[in-house]
Chains A and B, each alone.
Chain A
Amino acid sequence: MRTRFIYGCIFLAGLIWALSPACRKGDASIRSGQDAPEPYELILPTGWPVPVYDFSQNSLTKQGIALGRYLFYDQRLSKDSTVSCGFCHQQFAAFGHFDHSLSHGIEGRIGTRTVPTLFNLIWKRSFMWDGGVNNLEIQPLTPITDPNEMGQDLGTLVRNLQSDAGYRLRFKAAFGTEEVTSQRIFRALTQFMATMVSFNSKYDSVMRQAPGVQFTLEEQHGYEIFQQKCAACHKEPLFSDFSYRNNGLSKIPALNDIGRMKITNNASDYMKFGVPSLRNVLKSSPYMHDGRFFDIYLVFDHYDRGIVENASQDPALRTTLDPLLKNGLPLNVAEKRALYFFLNTLTDPGLINNPSLSEILIR
């Protein structure tokens, strides 16, 4: 009897909340009640590669994406409710962490690598700077459970969300029943992350030959330099070939990061890290896997004359520098300036100003 009363109250509260226009403005996640989740069509640019992510088990729906967005910005995903995904992945910084070289998490803890940007993830085969995570769906498991990031126990998280009436409604709207499972959490987050797409920069307009849009002379010059010196690894149109390479950074002893070798146990992967996309690069400082460069000109300088070949005393590990960088990438002052103007055309308001990706305030 008592239980029925409580459920009745929860239902009534839910009903009032659902019917209150002020609360549900722009939020499709729980409005639909008994209805099946509504399909969402992700429009992708023509001529791009087929996405790597397999949507067949996780079709996009408005309610699924909305749940993912809610989870992404909910601090309760962390152990002490202080850190959300969006805390480190800031939209205005292309979902990287503005002004922080190393990622940080609960209780002031600091990690060993910089926060990666988040966009065009459905084209990526592997994740993390060392490629240790093999599927977009399972990627959130790492930051959620890492003691230096959100520090939460997965089982505890599932139970917490299951005991929250609001979440039960959101899971029902997205997946048909109120049951919360880790698989549903991951799939909803993946649905939201799948909508973080970036292909509406000035560069894209130029490539599409949109009427009235063209590179300035300096941007055009920068594009030519880019094609000559950068495009082999930062491959168009995604501006990364998603490979792992040693780009000649000196080793920081305090971090002692061996890169992809940690994943493969293979000495040939010593100090190799994922090639990041250059899209939105001017918005996503600092740079490199450890965020050591706060200014894009420092990156230019690194490729121009900062390449370190022998990053290790161990002879077996000395030869992993990418052959393309053996002689550095000489860049004069004018070329750096032109490159800067070209990279500026890769800033995408369709990502960083997209209102459907923006933070929602929870509680």
Chain B
Amino acid sequence: MLYRSVCIPRIIFLPAMLLVIFAACSKQKKTTIITEQNATLQLNISHVVGARPLSLSGVSYQNEVGEAYTISAFKYYIGNVTLYYPDEKSVTVADTYFLVSEDSAASKKIIINGLPAGNFSRLSFRIGVDSARNNSGAQSGALDPVYGMFWTWNSGYIMAKVEGNSPVSMQPDHQLQFHIGGYVGAQNVVRTVMLDVPGLVLRSNEANGVSLVADVSKWFSGPDPVSFKTLSSWMTPGPVSVMMADKYKRMFSVVKVGNQ
């Protein structure tokens, strides 16, 4: 697939190169004025299901209600990465979009250049694509509809996607398909994740990293755990998308702060 071998690195690169401009233009209230910005943050994301690493090749997992399932695709958008100083001022990498996909190693290493040096205590980012980009016409880069993360019949991005299989699913071939999206009003599934990154230090001309893990099992865990007997597929905006987004926004945790 072209998408794996060529496009993903560019998706990450382009926004990174444009970062200087965007960061300078950002008008968020608490944003620090950036004078020196040559530090680099690398987010290393790995995917797990509960205690086990995620595999797309048929490994069987079990949900909270004891049903077996496999995963064949796992993708999501993140963006609006924000670093907080201990005094709560922050630096936001605005207007950037990353498509993270389990089948692309490159997509799981997000490199953000042009950041100010400093000590940071917290990190936040958005899961999904902001409403403006959902209705502003044809997009490019990570938002190119060529990646299959845009609904054709009901415009808007699939913010996050899990596909797989479960013997209890009533769908053809016992499929699981969760395509979560919606950007209008109460259907909005954009969620912000806030994580502590104690001791994160960025220095000029030096890359520093944060290792994150995203746990797919959180999509289906409690409260009100999902049973694939009754819910094995959802592919429209609406209440189920909102419910799933509220579940998967808990999937991230920090496993390591500092250089690899």
Residues of A within 8 A of B (CB): 54, 57-58, 128, 132-138, 141-142, 145-146, 154-155, 158-159, 181-183, 186-187, 190, 262-263, 265
Contacts and interface: CB of A to CB of B under 8 A. Distances in A.
Interface in B117-172: 134-140, 144-146, 150, 152-156
Nearest to B135: A134
B137 A132 contact: no
A187 B153 CA distance: 19
15 contacts: A54-B137, A128-B153, A133-B154, A134-B134, A134-B156, A138-B155, A141-B150, A142-B152, A145-B152, A155-B2, A181-B144, A183-B144, A187-B137, A187-B138, A265-B238
Contacts of B237: 265
A141 B152 contact: yes
Contacts of B139: 183
B137 A182 contact: no
A136 B138 CA distance: 9
Contacts of B155: 132-135, 138
A133 B154 CA distance: 6
Contact of A182 (B3, B146, B156, B187): B146
Given A181-B144, A182-B145, A138 B138 contact: yes
Contacts of A135: 135-138, 155
Residue of A138, A142, A181 with most partner-chain B CB within 10 A? A138
Contact of B146 (A128, A138, A158): A158
B154 A182 contact: no
Determine the main DSSP class of A at the interface with B. Answer: helix
Nearest to B238: A265
B137 A141 contact: no
A281 to B, nearest CB: 26
Given A138-B145, A155-B146, A183 B140 contact: yes
Contacts of A141: 145, 150, 152
Nearest to B139: A183
A58 B150 CA distance: 21
Nearest to B239: A265
Contacts of A182: 138, 140, 144-146
B25 to A, nearest CB: 17
A56 to B, nearest CB: 11
B3 A183 contact: no
Given A138-B145, A183-B139, 13 more contacts: A132-B153, A135-B137, A135-B138, A137-B138, A141-B145, A154-B145, A181-B140, A181-B144, A183-B140, A183-B144, A187-B138, A262-B154, A265-B236
Nearest to A136: B137
A154 B146 CA distance: 5
Closest 5 CB pairs of A and B: A137-B137, A186-B138, A134-B155, A135-B137, A137-B138
B153 A57 contact: no
Contacts of B135: 134-135
Nearest to B184: A264
Interface string B188-224: 0000000000000000000000000000000000000
B147 to A, nearest CB: 8
B8 to A, nearest CB: 13
A46 to B, nearest CB: 27
Contacts of B238: 265
Nearest to B154: A132
Given A154-B145, A155-B146, A183-B144, A263 B154 contact: yes
B182 to A, nearest CB: 10
A187 B154 CA distance: 19
A262 B2 CA distance: 34
A159 B152 CA distance: 20
A57 to B, nearest CB: 7
A132 to B, nearest CB: 4
Nearest to A263: B154
Contacts of A186: 137-138
Nearest to B147: A155
Contacts of B2: 155, 159
Contacts of A136: 137
Contacts of B138: 135, 137-138, 182-183, 186-187, 190
Residue of A146, A186, A190, A265 with most partner-chain B CB within 10 A? A265
B143 to A, nearest CB: 9
Contacts of B3: 155
Contacts of A154: 145-146
Contacts of A155: 2-3, 146
A136 B155 CA distance: 11
B146 A57 contact: no
Contact of B137 (A138, A159, A262): A138
B15 to A, nearest CB: 15
Nearest to A128: B153
